[in-house]
Amino acid sequence: MKKRVLVTEPIPKSVVDYLEAEVELERWSHPEKIPKGLLLQKIPSFHGLITFKDNIDQEFLQAASQLEVVSNISVGYDNFDIEAIKRSKIIATHTPYVLDETVADLIFGLILATARRIPELHQYVRNGKWSKSVDISLFGHNVHHKKLGIIGMGRIGEKVARRAKVGFQMDVCYYNRSRNHKIESELGAHYEQMDELLKTSDFILLMTPLTEQTYHLIDYEAFRKMKRTSFFINASRGAVVDEAGLINALENQLIQGAGLDVFKQEPIQLNNPLLKMENVVTLPHIGSATAETREEMKLFAAKNMLQALRGDTPDAVIKELN
């Protein structure tokens, strides 16, 4: 008898076929998130769950009486209660590696868009304001040969550092819990303490995961240390930044601008002051959102699922559960 798997995120036919070769599959294919009550009602009869945004907490785990594995279609897993999962003995996986290059592309897009004011000037042309040569009031800032400070030199940070150094001849520094000697030797990136990085970088990229230790890691005091000509880029998680502090810093011109793919609340509320600031580029959390990468992520999540249900160790078990 085949084991049963519930998928709460739309998946392409290639992934459906891959899963159905080994398991009995049920899919939630609506664009909106499955209601929590319905998920709790359904989950007792399933052995596996493939998800993107569902909260895997104590309430869910108590209802999931047959569940053996939950596979997240994401590198991050802040929707997982790790301690509760540890107590449950359920296997939990995620999808690192496959999206690194795609997210790095998006980050560099944010760097260029903020520095060269691309969205703002796009709207300037669309609104019929381009009637003469642009003057200094519309000038942007160079990216090449500037200093990029990366907070969190993981896999994606490495990809960004390579683009910055090789493509734009930037001076790359980083702050991390541990030194990354590979990136230092290969690219000449240099390690700096957080305060020094904040004070001297022209572009500051935040790439840390959201944990108890990193919650509001970047607050108003951190923005006060930055150069007034600096640009802040966040493609990690919204809650790593004190959003009120960021808004305050922008309103008081403590920094030049910001490029944001993540926010405290998602989707962002329409009355959020960030949406009214011309020097802020806002994106709807699309770091890995290309058709090719999302399909690869979903296939990776399916592979993790089948490996676990066969009794094998999945390729990407969440590190806290290893």
Would you call 143 helix, strand, or coil by DSSP? Answer: coil
Residues 249-262, mean pLDDT to the nearest whole number = 98
pLDDT in tens, 267-321: 999 999 999 999 999 999 999 999 999 999 999 999 999 999 999 999 999 999 8
- Whole-prediction pTM value? 0.89
285 among known catalytic residues: yes
Reply yes or no on whether the pLDDT at 34 is more than 90: yes
Report the SS3 class of residue 193.
Answer: coil
Q: What are the pLDDT digits (tens) for 121-133?
A: 999 999 999 999 9
Number of C-beta neighbours around residue 246 at 10 A: 27
Residue 104: what residue type?
A
Are domains 4-97+291-321 and 99-282 of this chain identical in fold?
yes
**Architecture of the domain defined by 99-282:** 3-Layer(aba) Sandwich (3.40)
| Active-site option among 20, 266, 278, 320 | 266
Instruction: Report the 10 Å Cβ neighbour count for 2.
Output: 12
The amino acid at 126:
R
Dist CA 264 CA 238 (whole Å): 5
Residue 122 annotated as catalytic: no
Q: Quick: pLDDT tens for 170-206.
A: 999 999 999 999 999 999 999 999 999 999 999 999 9
Least Cα distance to 71 among 26, 16, 162, 6 occurs for 6
Concerning whether 237 is annotated as a catalytic residue, the answer is yes
Report in angstroms the alpha-carbon separations of 54 from 7, 38, 201, 292.
11, 12, 37, 23
Q: Calculate the alpha carbon distances from 199 to 118, 183, 279 in Å.
A: 26, 22, 20
Query: Judging by beta carbons within 10 Å of its beta carbon (0-12, 13-18, 19+), is residue 284 exposed, middle or buried?
Result: exposed
Which residues are 232's β-sheet partners? Answer: 204, 258
Spans of all domains in the chain: 4-97+291-321, 99-282
pLDDT above 90: residue 74: yes
Edge-to-edge strand ranges of the sheet holding 69-72: 24-27, 4-7, 48-51, 69-72, 91-93
Among 27, 101, 285, 295, the active-site one is 285
Catalytic residue, candidates 47, 163, 237, 294: 237
Average of per-residue pLDDT across 112-119: 98
- CATH 1.20.1260.10 given to domain 4-97+291-321: no
- Helix ranges restricted to H, 68-154: 82-88, 100-115, 118-126
